[in-house]
């Protein structure tokens, strides 16, 4: 009995190992979420109105949000908060009456889905906050600790981790700086055979003080692999893009991968718009098997099953022969 159990266990283990070897793949990490004040820097003259959007980037299944933003009472006076469109993309919402506190110098607002089902995913505006400018000067616009994003897991609210990017009001305005950069390129694996997939992470950063949108293109030597669009990258924020390079029909050689960020309007410094990553080696692929991986797995499984049947049947035949000899 122990022998049979060991044989069956070994056969099952072998089938599992074959399946894993043939179909193993890597998962994709969830993108990071950012809540930001947009424009990050701006201003208006006294007695005029100044509006900012509270915007979220790369959020997944957002069910409810709330924020608390503080400001300088001597410079600004909050006059209104209007719900933005992002959460409505998932369905009907309940927008709470905002607290406009011009004594304490803060504005608190919140909103939630009315129905307990799917949340909103993507980039968009949570709300628009409007201030009246009281005087010249500078006022930080800062998120407080009771600023929250939450999703719904079917039974309870779940906090969503996110980074924050505060804003700033200034009048007269200082000089706006527009500068985007590619800060890093990494590839894995570094050595492949033709036909393999190389995963390439490209890190970009907004080094200016104005929210930017731009294209990033990945090159292999001098030909284009793929382009992606970076939308709403707020100042000081880093974002990672994931590219996949299919090396099918690529000659065996060493290749240089270069990521290039498109130049934004009035960008003076463009030397950091590109970043090169060398030494990705592509080797010649081995001759193809006469049959595919599915057929290989089927053959292995059939052989394992036949082996198990024979091993389980053999002790019975031996026992039968022993009985016949004893009877004789």
Both tokens of 159, joined, read 């906090």
**Tally of residues, the chain:** 328
Specify the pLDDT at position 102: 98
Both tokens of 267, joined, read 């960008």
pTM of this structure: 0.61
From CA 144, how far away is CA 29, in angstroms rounded? 28
Q: What is the mean pLDDT of residues 231-243?
A: 91
Q: At CA 142, angle to CA 144 and CA 202, rounded to 5? A: 100
Q: Does 316 score more than 60 pLDDT?
A: no
Q: At CA 231, angle to CA 225 and CA 233, rounded to 5? A: 110
Q: Which of 59, 53, 63 is nearest to 127 (CA)?
A: 53
* % pLDDT > 70, the chain: 80
From CA 32, how far away is CA 37, in angstroms rounded? 17
Q: What is the mean pLDDT of residues 59-84?
A: 97
Q: Which tens digits make up the pLDDT trace of 83-109?
A: 999 999 999 999 999 999 999 999 999
Q: Which fold has domain 34-171?
A: Immunoglobulin-like (2.60.40)
Q: Which tens digits make up the pLDDT trace of 175-225?
A: 778 899 999 999 999 999 999 999 999 999 999 888 899 999 999 988 999
Q: Which fold has domain 178-283?
A: Immunoglobulin-like (2.60.40)
Do residues 89 and 49 lie in contact, with contact meaning Cβ atoms separated by under 8 Å? no
* Per-chain mean pLDDT for the chain: 84
**What are the residue ranges spanned by the domains of the chain?**
34-171, 178-283
Least confident span in 127-136, 231-240, 316-325: 316-325
Query: Cα-flanking dihedrals φ and ψ of residue 300, to 5°?
Result: -65, -45
Q: Does this chain's domain 34-171 share its CATH topology with 178-283?
A: yes
Q: What is the mean pLDDT of residues 151-169?
A: 92
Specify the pLDDT at position 66: 98
């Amino acid at each position: 009995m122990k022998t049979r159990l060991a044989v069956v266990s070994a056969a099952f283990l072998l089938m599992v190992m074959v399946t894993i070897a043939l179909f193993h793949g890597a998962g994709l990490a969830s993108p990071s979420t950012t809540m930001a004040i947009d424009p990050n820097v701006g201003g208006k003259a006294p007695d005029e109105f100044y509006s900012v959007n509270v915007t979220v980037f790369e959020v997944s299944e957002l069910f409810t949000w709330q924020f608390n933003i503080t400001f300088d009472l001597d410079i600004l006076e909050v006059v209104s908060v209007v719900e933005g469109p992002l959460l409505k993309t998932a369905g009907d919402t309940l927008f709470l009456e905002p607290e406009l506190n011009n004594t304490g110098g803060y504005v608190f607002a919140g909103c939630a889905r009315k129905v307990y089902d799917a949340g909103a995913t993507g980039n968009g505006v949570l709300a628009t906050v409007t201030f009246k400018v009281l005087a010249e000067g500078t006022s930080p616009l800062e998120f407080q600790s009771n600023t929250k994003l939450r999703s719904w897991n079917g039974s309870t609210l779940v906090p969503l981790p996110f980074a924050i990017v505060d804003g700033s009001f200034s009048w007269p305005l200082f000089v706006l700086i527009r500068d985007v950069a590619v800060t890093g390129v990494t590839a894995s694996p570094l050595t492949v055979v033709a036909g393999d997939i190389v995963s390439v992470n490209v890190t970009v950063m907004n080094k200016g003080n104005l929210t930017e949108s731009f294209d990033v293109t990945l090159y292999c030597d001098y030909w284009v692999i793929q382009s992606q669009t970076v939308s709403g990258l707020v100042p000081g924020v880093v974002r990672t893009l994931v590219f996949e390079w299919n090396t099918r029909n690529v000659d065996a050689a060493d290749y240089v991968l270069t990521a290039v960020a498109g130049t934004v309007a009035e960008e003076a410094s463009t030397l950091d718009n590109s970043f090169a990553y060398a030494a990705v080696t592509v080797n010649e692929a081995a001759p193809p098997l006469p049959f595919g991986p599915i057929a290989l797995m089927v053959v292995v499984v059939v052989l394992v099953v036949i082996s198990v049947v024979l091993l389980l049947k053999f002790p019975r035949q031996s026992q039968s022969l022993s009985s016949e000899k004893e009877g004789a």
